[in-house]
Amino acid sequence: MQDSFGRDIKYMRISITDRCNLRCKYCMPADGLKNKLTHADILSYDEIIKIVRVAKSLGIEAVRITGGEPLVRKGVPDLVRELSKIVDVSLTTNATLLPKYAMELKNAGLSRINISIDTLDANAYKEITRVGNLDEAIAGLEAVLDAGFDPVKINAVAMKGIKQNYNDFARLTFEKPVHVRFIEYMSIGDIEGKYISEEEIKAQINADLHPVSGPIGSGPAHYYQLDGAKGTIGFITSQSNHFCNTCNRIRLTADGKIRPCLFSDVEYDVRSGNIKDVLENAIKNKPAGHEGKSGTFRHMSQIGG
Ligand code: SAM
Ligand code: SF4
């Protein structure tokens, strides 16, 4: 279905939980969320499947499961198995639970996995995630490659004040067939911060990055490759260079609210009426862009990125 600005809405991000086993500085408060959702607030898998069926009838072709950390919720492979009978299904995760789940997710029909790792330095990883262990995330990455997922993308939020060595990621693209994407930090919730731009990252890598076409499911990222590398380096410039005019997505929160725009707190409750009417209304009212808007009442962990 097209929104009122002629954009074809084909993609839905589905947050299945607001819980997480990490506490990334830019995403969650140190002591976790104050107003966690209750069991009754959270959409059941049956409700999610029903919503996706209706969304498909309106033109949604692909969904991405996210969180919080989606893999802390029980039974994700079962959800993937059902959803992948309806649409293309991918997942975004911090990877720490993938050694347990990667193969099961592959067998359930999951198409692709994006992994969030912001630094390849163990101490810096601990500092950014507050409680995380880099070895566990790397074991998750290995498990995904071993399970045969392709492409495998790594998301790294680029933000001033956190310790990141972009050359470590550049080196990783020679060692493994991974697509690293630097995502500009977005000001959401009450966390202060400033993004690091594509130009600053390229200056640090300081090598010949050739523009290349991205792997399947690239969304708004654009990509480069270093000579002889197995993988690529991409950028998602949501702050310095808005891509609202090509935005094809809506979001479903774990408590059943459709958010037509990440940066707008206008939400449509799927439990408030007929699902088709709610979805149509949300798509019709998707704003043109987020120019001038920043910060929302939710943290990113409650929206899913
Ligand atoms: N827990 C999973 C993970 O970390 O991949 C899925 C949820 S997380 C909210 C989804 C994505 O949003 C991650 O790649 C994360 O790095 C990104 N993210 C979180 N807060 C962000 C922010 N303030 N600005 C930009 N990206 C952010
Ligand atoms: Fe958790 Fe993902 Fe947010 Fe980190 S970015 S706190 S892993 S939801």
What are 41-91's pLDDT values in tens digits? 999 999 999 999 999 999 999 999 999 999 999 999 999 999 999 999 999
Q: How many CB atoms within 10 Å of residue 78?
A: 12
Going edge to edge, which strands form the sheet with 249-252? 209-212, 222-226, 232-236, 178-184, 152-158, 112-116, 88-93, 62-66, 11-15, 249-252, 257-259, 268-269
- Cα-to-centroid distance, 273 and ligand 1 (Å): 30
d(CA 133, CA 23): 12
- Minimum mean pLDDT among 16-20, 86-90, 234-238: which range? 234-238
Q: Is it the case that residue 295 has pLDDT exceeding 90? A: no
| pTM for this predicted structure | 0.95
Helix extents (H) in the chain: 45-57, 76-83, 98-108, 122-129, 134-146, 166-175, 198-205, 275-284
Q: Which ligand is nearest to the CA of 67?
A: 1
- Cα-to-centroid distance, 150 and ligand 1 (Å): 21
153: nearest Cα among 129, 186, 177: 177
47: nearest Cα among 256, 267, 289, 269: 256
Which tops the pLDDT comparison, 16 or 263?
16
- Cα-to-centroid distance, 68 and ligand 2 (Å): 6
Average pLDDT over residues 136-142: 98
Output the ligand 2 site: residues, CB below 6 A.
20, 22-24, 27-28, 67-69, 94, 116, 301
User: Which of ligand 1's atoms lies nearest the C-alpha of 305?
Assistant: 12
User: Which of ligand 1's atoms lies nearest the C-alpha of 303?
Assistant: 9
- Using 50, 70 and 90 to split pLDDT, how confident is the model at 292? low
Q: Which ligand is nearest to the CA of 191?
A: 1
- Cα-to-centroid distance, 174 and ligand 1 (Å): 25
Q: What is the pLDDT of residue 238?
A: 83
Residue identifier of the C-alpha nearest atom 25 of ligand 1: 185
Largest interatomic CA distance in the chain: 54
Beta-bridge partners for 14:
65, 252
- Cα-to-centroid distance, 109 and ligand 1 (Å): 23
User: What end-to-end distance do the CA atoms of the chain give, in Å?
Assistant: 22
Out of 136-150, 184-198, 240-254, the most confident range is: 136-150
- C-alpha pair distances (Å), 192 with each of 181, 206, 302: 22, 29, 17
**Is the Cβ–Cβ distance between 165 and 121 less than 8 Å?**
yes
One-character DSSP codes across 29-97: -TT--SSPPPTTTSPPHHHHHHHHHHHHHTT--EEEEESS-GGGSTTHHHHHHHHTTTSEEEEEE-STT
Look at strands 257-259 and 268-269 and give their pairing. Answer: antiparallel
Q: What is the pLDDT of residue 17?
A: 97
Tokens 């074991």, residue located: 139
